[in-house]
Amino acid sequence: MAKTATRGRRKAPARGKSRARSGGGGLLPWAVIGIAAIGGILAHDHWKSIQPLLAHQSAPATRETTEPRPVARRDVPPKQVALAAPTPKTAPATPQPLPPAVIPTPAIQPVKAVPTAVSPGAAQTGTAAFGYCGQGAHINCVGDGGVFWYRGEKIVIADMASPIVDRARCDDERRIAFAAKSRLLALLNAGPFTMNAAGKTESSGAPRVVSRDGRSFGAQLITEGLARKPGAGGAWCA
């Protein structure tokens, strides 16, 4: 009986401890509720300053939830990347030999014959290859039946007068003018000839008596009917 009483007495303090523990555990929820209430009051009083902070922190989360994530499709084939074609290598250009330098050749200018001054009565021997005068420079050529150029100087046969082709007034005069021109060309090309001054050189030409072996060309043309003596009248046209 004594042992039983002792056991009962020993258990009493244990009950007190459990009550204390249960009492302490019951105060904790009330403390949390009180702290929450105080926090709510403070949040209500300072709501204007807290609201921008809450909105700024919640914006990224809202964007992440609203923006849909791309969904990978299984039926779409993977993108093919086009590979760049390799650039063909070109062989280095072989240097071409340089052409030889062109050496300019000076143009040959025709030498203009300088007329030789002949004193009155002095004889001059001439010889050259004659042709008909054209549009170029007159060096050694025949102009008509009584005029020719020798070394660039105009010579007028002084002891005859023959018709001129460009001034012919009829066919007969033109025919005689052509014949006299051709005959004078033949006489000049037949060999060396002699020219004697018969007057002063003027713009119309230098008057000369042209002869070979003492026979005048003018007298020969008169004899052949292709020229007349200077100052002789008469017309070449019938």
**Residue 179 resides in a domain:** yes
> Who's near 73: CB < 8 A, 6+ residues apart?
none
For residue 136, give the CATH number of its domain: 2.40.50
CB 40 within 8 A of CB 34: no
Smallest CA-to-CA distance from 207 within 95, 110, 118, 84 is with 118
**Residue 139 resides in a domain:** yes
pTM score of the predicted model? 0.50
- SS3 letters across 118-146: CCCCCEEEECCCCEECCCCCCCCEEEECC
CB 160 within 8 A of CB 221: yes
Per-position pLDDT tens, the chain of length 238: 444 444 445 554 545 444 545 555 567 777 788 888 887 777 677 666 766 666 665 555 445 555 556 555 565 555 554 555 556 666 666 666 666 666 666 555 554 545 555 555 578 999 999 999 988 889 999 999 999 999 999 999 999 999 998 888 999 999 999 999 999 999 999 999 999 999 888 888 999 999 999 999 999 999 999 999 988 777 888 7
Question: Which residue's structure tokens are 């070449």?
Answer: 236
**Residue 182 resides in a domain:** yes
Smallest CA-to-CA distance from 139 within 153, 125, 118, 155 is with 153
**Residue 145 resides in a domain:** yes
**Residue 77 resides in a domain:** no
Where would I find the H helices in 46-161? 47-66
How many angstroms separate the CA atoms of 232 and 160, rounded? 10
**Residue 200 resides in a domain:** yes
pLDDT of residue 41: 78
**Residue 37 resides in a domain:** no
Tell me what percent of the chain is helix, strand and coil, each rounded to the nearest 5.
40, 15, 45
Smallest CA-to-CA distance from 188 within 225, 227, 223, 221 is with 221
How many angstroms separate the CA atoms of 91 and 66, rounded? 62
What letters, b where the CB count within 10 A reaches 16 and e where it falls short, cover 158-168? bbbbbbbbeeb
pLDDT of residue 20: 46
pLDDT of residue 115: 52
pLDDT of residue 121: 56
> Who's near 133: CB < 8 A, 6+ residues apart?
141, 142, 143, 149
**Residue 122 resides in a domain:** no
pLDDT of residue 57: 58
Number of domains in the chain: 1
Q: Which domain does 152 fall in, by range?
A: 127-224
DSSP 3: H
CB 113 within 8 A of CB 153: yes
How many angstroms separate the CA atoms of 125 and 192, rounded? 7
